[in-house]
Amino acid sequence: MAASGQVNGNVSPQYLGVTQPISTAGPTEADHARTLKLEKFLVSAGLYESQDEAVLREEVLGRLDQTIKLWVKQISQNKGFSDQLIQEANAKIFTFGSYRLGVHGPSTDIDTLCVGPRHASREEDFFAELYTMLADMEEVTELHPVTDVHVPVMKFKFNGISIDLLYARLSLWVIPEDLDISQESILRNIDEQSVHSLSGCRVTDQILRLVPNIQHFHTTLRCLKFWAKRRGVYSSVMGFLGGVSCALLAARICQLYPNAIPSMLVSRFFLVYTQWRWPNPVMLCAIDEGTLGLPVWDPRKNPCDRLHHMPIITPAYPCMNSSYSVSLSTLRVMMEEFRRANEICEVYYIFVSRLVLHIDLCIVICTWY
């Protein structure tokens, strides 16, 4: 969502985010050189998949989409629907997470969502009928349904590609091929698990809409995820940063420095979050209250939200805190890592300015123990 503000009575240019940018300065020649070195390092670290694997992923997603379309027609026939409804019956596959964001690497899981019509139930049809179909396919291995969790998921490998498949049951009798799941109306009259399942796709798409330069965001996020994993602060289960939280933090830096390139954005990331006054929330846009009455993050109304130590708010309705598992102790560890990385960045830039050394910023941050 673009916003505008007033400075000395004059309307400022449009910008992304809930506040004006910190700086609109662009890169220098040295920044471009550092970004090239950063990109080369990320490639050498094996963070990009090969062209063959990229093609295979596309083929797998195409086959999976065909499979769920056949599945929904079969269950429509089994339920005794008319020939016309069987012919029109449809389901769609959407992707989200690192694959949809464009920051996945070799052997990374593909987070996928199956969107089905109102007559395709989760228990009997998705986790029973579709499970049976997948189990009978030679391409599918390691099929494992996980149903006793907040967001039920079907895990399997399809031609060697790991897939996490969620399910959302809409209130529509027919799922249109051009379905737009970003619309709030898609959430009307559906169960809570379907709302949560749709959230991943809706949040991912909204993040991509709210960054000023997607390519710069991609490179920055790849670097920051690599750093977080190397420093042991990448795990939402353990109370640290998860993939969504990392993406939201990086996207906010892109908003605050809209003309910066990756080498600049990485250093600004650590500078900004070293000084961030938690529990002030990080938000990419204003919280949408919606019209459907779904609960959203609001510490003024919800006492449990006041207990969150590091709120990083998702930008799609219903807006939630993606980092609710962060504790005071894990926040303390992350803040120490932010400070450490920021100090390394400052030392690096002093070296560059005084000695004109060409040290790869990402190598220093990620490997200097």
CB-CB neighbours of 339 under 10 Å: 14
**Is-contact 253 276, C-beta < 8 A?**
no
Return d(Cα 245, Cα 263) in angstroms, integer: 20
Residues comprising the chain, all counted: 369
The residue with tokens 């694997």 is 53
**Runs of H (alpha helix) within the chain:** 29-44, 51-78, 83-88, 97-101, 131-135, 192-209, 214-230, 243-256, 262-275, 328-355, 361-367
| Contact criterion met (CB below 8 Å) for 217 and 205 | no
- Which amino acid appears at position 242 of this protein? G
295: closest CA among 145, 153, 367, 192? 192
CA distance 326 to 237: 9
Active site residues: 98, 109, 111, 164, 225, 234
